[in-house]
Chains A and B, each alone.
Chain A
């Protein structure tokens, strides 16, 4: 039971004494200038090295290594698959191809893609593939990936991966994203895996389609002619306008401070842990927030216990008195109780999204990785 709980939590709780935790918490929550154990600034990421196209047989791949030795490899494989038609599309597709389908070549209608076309599997050493952590992580990354659609605006649907996989009404690509963490997770692996996946998708190429419209797909056999799933910046488009796969960043709040790319110890004392997915959407200026998920910090996993005073079992008459329960003991960290302030979340999101903010910085950094 406890092992499972650990698995689903942000990371294995480091074995730190309450005093150490308290020290950490205090340093991290210093107003405006948190002091992090490794000396980074609040928005600074750990140094990492990235490489793409490491797997020649895959459509796209990447390897990212943190300085602490954690490494991840992601491979993307694409397969052509026949679309199982929903009832509302059957009528249209019953009449496939025809003389006039040249004109029908317009982008497939909005909302034809399906989330299940992207399959993500994550392998983490020491975990079974049906353990909660890999499953949860996979879903946390897959969801923004396929759903990153600016619905409503109508035209800007390109951001969603699932729309990019549509070949025509009857055919689509299926993507298999295989994520492999090469080392024991020293910290919560989400940022590492997300960055690696992002790079792998950036380097992903799909064979060039030669057929048009509603015809059965037929591809160019020249791999050099294959096209990037996310077109590269050879176009004169300003960087800001290129669609990119989303990245999921791990952000914690400690006291009033917002800290990025936390390591294990920092997570242990976090008040809030958020996984924020952002992407750059075409047309739209700046970044787009795709999702925010809260991740339970380990502190939340320990039952703080109910004050005797409020304990019905003891009837408020237990020995000891309330002092130990309600009052903080200096030098001993106690997990915070209660929810997250709305303003804190807003601030965290803003730091990610704002122009010149962390989100852009990360995306730019990723863009700098040579692809191909």
Chain B
């Protein structure tokens, strides 16, 4: 029998065509063989400015321009490469040293291969995105070379060649081609070969290094290369060491953690319902207790101990398995802080795993359901263990070097040593970092990343990225905050600033009404409009007016800055804003969503100047019943910008009878009616522990006077009511027009079991009932939760109730059924955000949708289509702005907390007597009781803090105030904790007498002493924290 074999050698075109074959598994379980044909080309440029060949062959765009060449003609060199070099990293080099490649001190003129980029994408999406943005920036001169599409550099995979080997070969082939190509180009120019830059492959693969040597390609390992640079000590720290270390370690060392299940096993069992997937959350009070909310059960499952959490870090998406019933536990009533737990924190071994059959496992799921159903305090809760991690959500963490972990010779030597970095986020375990600069890093805020967490390592290992600066300096702490909460704080890039109007601050509303800008706009300049905002507000989003109509009704208008006029969809500024999502307010800093020019000038509805606005106008009866509503783009001129107080004064001043004041009085009257209507409908009056910082830093006074609790004036709620009303009106309008893609905001009704614990506590301690059947019922029952002797008690309950609720979220209308649109807190069936487009991206989108809904065409006639978006894209945006919104809130709160701490410290330094900070005595409220401490809320500063046993001041040790002295007390202390009654009785060991002990119960008002202290010695030394001492009950 004759066997035919096709021979391509005679076909001249055969070399240009090749194919790529792989197996694709689809979501539905199909497995397909995919064949992609690949047509190789010869016109992909090398992009070196040295090259004289490529400019003539590079593909040109329609106007005949070729993409500018990236690689410099005189690249930087090192000692080993005095003529300069182009770097060609392989995938591992990027995986291990992305921070290095991003470093501004080195790593210029880098050729990134398409092969490497794709491989990186498969291995780590975050790194891939970072590399992409590196390629996009011009400064670093990274060139993405499509080697797979170029005939000379395409590499066909050999028989029995592994993919890795093939890709390594591709890298070497490119390096070889580049040097030959540049040589040829130089020869053409008649230049000397000597001056050509070297092509340096960077790879950590030993085999690749060896082969490169054989083939005459210059190749270096990442660390060898970095060692040749200036400042190598610092740079070397930025290499991900875990990979190498693992190889070196081999099988040595005990394995602390069980292995993860295989992916296929996980998938099978997830489908079968015996494993569950969810996000791993760590309790802020106990770093050893995590919980995972899974779709199958109403309540989160508990994950106790290191063994069970099995290398998961807060935020990871994990797969968990429910543990047998005998291992179910009650949630811990202890405060466990990683820093406090000394060395050996191995939780009780639960390795004796019973062999359970499938049937039993199934039954277990039932039990979970039952236990969840009738859970009461103290009953064992279902626990689970992590058996796999679907997605790591590791990011860069801000932390400090644990001084206890540095060696004694730390300061002197440049020797590499391993230190622990304690992340700022308490829920993240300490990170093992190898560094050569341990001495320098002590007392600094540093940024680290986690590289890996292996089974044989108790802690994750990571590497140093950069230092933010000295601890407790304003710059470092602010940056730390922003990094921790993932706030984009870099200045706006040029591409964004290019989108601003060319006139800059001189931009004016066009004088002629024939101007394009007036098209579709109503002239409302004659209306008596004013704005009311917090004092010193620069970005004025909204302004109001009211006037009587001839028919006796009133016209009320809310005018919102017309940001969508300036921010056109999909330009660089819009994309940047959608990424930032919201403006972030810190105590002493504002991170804008939009460039300064727009936010504080062109868009801002400043008084006395004409501005573009988007107006919502209602005709209302004198009883504030809406007769009709109207939306229009407009031009307004605000008559005055009031602060809340000024507005209040003006309204209250009977001598003022001008039209503007009258109109404000009308507004106030209407707002009260609207508010009452809302309350009648069951809106909640929630409370959050907020304080305001007035940073008008006079150095003399008590720094703490800057800290003020927020006061509510009638004018506050005036503005608030109309904004709510406008939002609701707009939400209805855009939903009617875009039933699938309207951007709305909802607040889901919290499941009743969320309130279980609070209800229980209230009925036990105060004999109060909380009716959670509806928001109205809850509002009523919250109103009844009062304590005549203790006016703050009601606020406290409100704060706690708020924490039981879910957070409000943006969503697109198609994502939920209409009854689910409800905003629980506001008791409104539909809601959106329309009134603050300067500081929230959602509002900007709603503006576009509304403009489109009312048929506004805009200057170019395209505004009608700009509001239209696909649902998918909108859902992506929603996800991002929800995330940014939450983070912005956290960052703001953390900033206040930090400021309060600093103010306490400043006060302490001023007032301290003989070196001991006496602190300040305040009122506090017990929010939670643990077995070994309580959480106390101090309303004056809006802070809450954990009070440990040693920080209970007993009559016997009232004199001891310093941290060290109190630390001594730990060993003597004992507590008597009553789980059912939420009380804790603290006493000295062996002295349980009543008069020598201190008993504290939930909701109790206590006298506390607040001060800012610095930890001395031991772990976490040098860290400042706000310490709360409980002085006694009241």
Binding site for B on A (CB under 8 A): 47-51, 56-59, 63, 78-80, 82, 94-101, 207, 210-212, 214-224, 226, 365-366, 368-370
Contacts and interface: CB of A to CB of B under 8 A. Distances in A.
B690 to A, nearest CB: 50
A96 to B, nearest CB: 6
B62 interface: no
Contacts of A220: 23
A211 B21 contact: no
A223 B33 contact: yes
Contacts of B157: 224
Contacts of B35: 56-57
A150 to B, nearest CB: 27
Interface residues of B, number: 37
B3 to A, nearest CB: 4
Given A51-B3, A370-B5, A222 B163 contact: yes
Given A97-B265, A222-B163, A59 B33 contact: yes
Given A95-B358, A100-B355, A218-B264, A50 B31 contact: no
B4 interface: yes
Contacts of B6: 51
A85 to B, nearest CB: 14
Taking each of A50, A97, A223, which has the highest tally of chain B beta carbons within 10 Å of its own beta carbon? A97
Given A219-B23, A221-B22, 13 more contacts: A48-B2, A50-B1, A56-B21, A80-B30, A80-B31, A97-B268, A211-B264, A215-B264, A215-B268, A217-B31, A218-B25, A222-B22, A223-B23
B669 to A, nearest CB: 66
Interface in B15-56: 19, 21-25, 29-31, 33, 35
A98 B358 contact: yes
B2 A47 contact: yes
A49 to B, nearest CB: 4
A97 B5 contact: no
Interface of B: 1-6, 19, 21-25, 29-31, 33, 35, 157, 160-161, 163, 262-265, 267-269, 271-272, 274, 355-359, 361
A211 B31 CA distance: 14
A259 B268 CA distance: 55
Contact of B265 (A59, A79, A211): A211
A50 B29 CA distance: 34
A99 B2 contact: no
Contact of A212 (B31, B33, B264, B358): B264
Contact of A215 (B2, B262, B274): B262
A221 B33 CA distance: 9
A214 B267 CA distance: 12
B21 A223 contact: yes
B854 to A, nearest CB: 51
A101 B5 CA distance: 44
7 contacts: A48-B2, A57-B33, A63-B4, A96-B358, A212-B262, A222-B23, A223-B22
B3 A216 contact: no
Those 5 A-B pairs whose CB atoms lie nearest each other, nearest first: A211-B264, A95-B358, A218-B264, A365-B1, A51-B4
A78 B33 CA distance: 9
A252 B265 CA distance: 54
A207 B31 contact: yes
Contacts, number: 112
A221 B25 contact: yes
A79 B31 contact: yes
Contact of B19 (A56, A59, A99, A226): A56
Contacts of B262: 210-212, 215
B29 A216 contact: yes
B31 A219 contact: yes
Nearest to A100: B355
A223 B163 CA distance: 11
Nearest to A95: B358
Contacts of A224: 21, 157, 160-161, 163
B1 A48 contact: yes
A323 B4 CA distance: 57
A53 to B, nearest CB: 9
B5 A215 contact: no
A214 B264 CA distance: 10
Contacts of A366: 1
Contacts of B2: 47-50
A335 B798 CA distance: 104
Contacts of B19: 56
B18 to A, nearest CB: 11
Contacts of A94: 358
A346 B656 CA distance: 123
A221 B357 contact: no
Contacts of B29: 80, 82, 216-217
Contacts of B274: 97
Contacts of B358: 94-98
A49 B4 CA distance: 6
A203 B2 CA distance: 16
Contacts of B359: 95
A97 B271 CA distance: 11
Given A79-B30, A80-B29, A221 B264 contact: no
Contact of A216 (B21, B161, B267): B267
A78 B31 CA distance: 8
Contacts of A58: 33
A50 B30 contact: no
A368 B264 contact: no
A218 B33 contact: no
Contact of B268 (A99, A214, A223): A214
B23 A207 contact: yes
Nearest to A79: B30
B264 A210 contact: yes
A94 B24 CA distance: 28
A95 B357 contact: yes
B443 to A, nearest CB: 49
A212 to B, nearest CB: 7
Contact of B267 (A56, A63, A218, A222): A218
A231 to B, nearest CB: 16
A323 to B, nearest CB: 51
Contacts of B269: 97
A138 to B, nearest CB: 24
A368 B33 contact: no
Contacts of B268: 96-97, 211, 214-216
Contacts of B356: 99
B22 A216 contact: no
Taking each of A57, A98, A226, which has the highest tally of chain B beta carbons within 10 Å of its own beta carbon? A98
Nearest to B262: A211
Contacts of B263: 210-211, 218
B5 A51 contact: yes
Contacts of A221: 22-25
Nearest to A226: B23
A216 B271 contact: yes
Contacts of B21: 56, 223-224
Nearest to A45: B1
A252 B634 CA distance: 96
Contacts of A49: 1-4
Contacts of A63: 4
A183 to B, nearest CB: 17
Taking each of B1, B29, B157, B265, which has the highest tally of chain A beta carbons within 10 Å of its own beta carbon? B1
Taking each of B161, B265, B271, B274, which has the highest tally of chain A beta carbons within 10 Å of its own beta carbon? B265
Contacts of B4: 49-51, 63
A115 to B, nearest CB: 22
A146 to B, nearest CB: 21
Given A215-B265, A218-B267, A222-B23, A369 B1 contact: yes
A366 B274 CA distance: 49
B545 to A, nearest CB: 64
B448 to A, nearest CB: 33
B30 A369 contact: no
Contacts of B265: 97, 101, 211-212, 215
A165 B271 CA distance: 23
Contacts of B361: 98
